[in-house]
């Protein structure tokens, strides 16, 4: 029960940067709540999947896909581009700690010298960063691509 409350609290907190970035991207005020809701939903789905043992890369892909489907639906209803909601909504899932650890490891390698454990740490963090960012971009774009591709058939 406590884990579920913690997950819901973290999802609600994730709405804050989503709305903040939406404001930075000049999203109209009437759409800000949708950005926050989509950001909270994506972060919550990712956290829930990771709690059940899914790797962060796959959990991020599924969460970004869910955000993509939701934003494609909203885009159709409001006649606004889906990127208006989606880009701000995936911001809370950006892999900042992995990217930070990669850069810190690279700086340490240049200052102290390369050792095998440090090189392994940099490589693992760098690859995780690339895969998570890839999962975010493909997961967010795929629903829109599928929707607009199949729309002319129906």
Is the pLDDT at 154 greater than 60? The verdict is: no
Is the pLDDT at 141 greater than 60? The verdict is: yes
Q: Residue 133 and residue 68: Cα distance in Å, rounded?
A: 15
Tokens of 138: 């493909």
Long-range contacts of range 21-27, CB-CB < 8 Å, 24 or more positions apart? Answer: 21/87, 21/88, 21/91, 22/85, 22/88, 25/87, 25/88, 27/84, 27/85, 27/88
pLDDT of residue 150: 60
User: Residue 105 burial (CB < 10 Å; 0-12/13-18/19+)?
Assistant: buried
**What SS3 class is residue 28?**
coil
pLDDT digits (tens, 9 = 90+) for 34-72: 999 999 999 999 999 999 999 999 999 999 999 999 999
Provide the pLDDT confidence category of residue 149 given band limits of 50, 70 and 90: low
């Amino acid at each position: 029960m406590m884990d579920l409350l913690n997950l819901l609290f973290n999802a609600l907190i994730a709405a804050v940067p989503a709305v903040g970035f939406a404001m930075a991207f000049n999203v109209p005020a009437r759409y800000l709540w949708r950005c926050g809701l989509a950001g909270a939903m994506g972060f919550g789905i990712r956290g829930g999947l990771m709690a059940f043992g899914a790797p962060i890369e796959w959990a991020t892909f599924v969460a970004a896909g869910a955000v993509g489907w939701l934003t494609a639906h909203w885009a159709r209803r409001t006649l606004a581009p889906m990127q208006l909601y989606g880009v701000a909504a995936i911001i809370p899932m950006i892999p900042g700690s992995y990217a930070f650890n990669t850069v810190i490891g690279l700086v340490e390698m240049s200052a102290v010298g390369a050792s095998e454990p440090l090189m392994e740490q940099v490589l693992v963090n760098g690859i995780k960063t690339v895969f998570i960012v890839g999962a975010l971009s493909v997961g967010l774009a795929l629903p829109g691509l599928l929707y607009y591709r199949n729309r002319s058939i129906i």
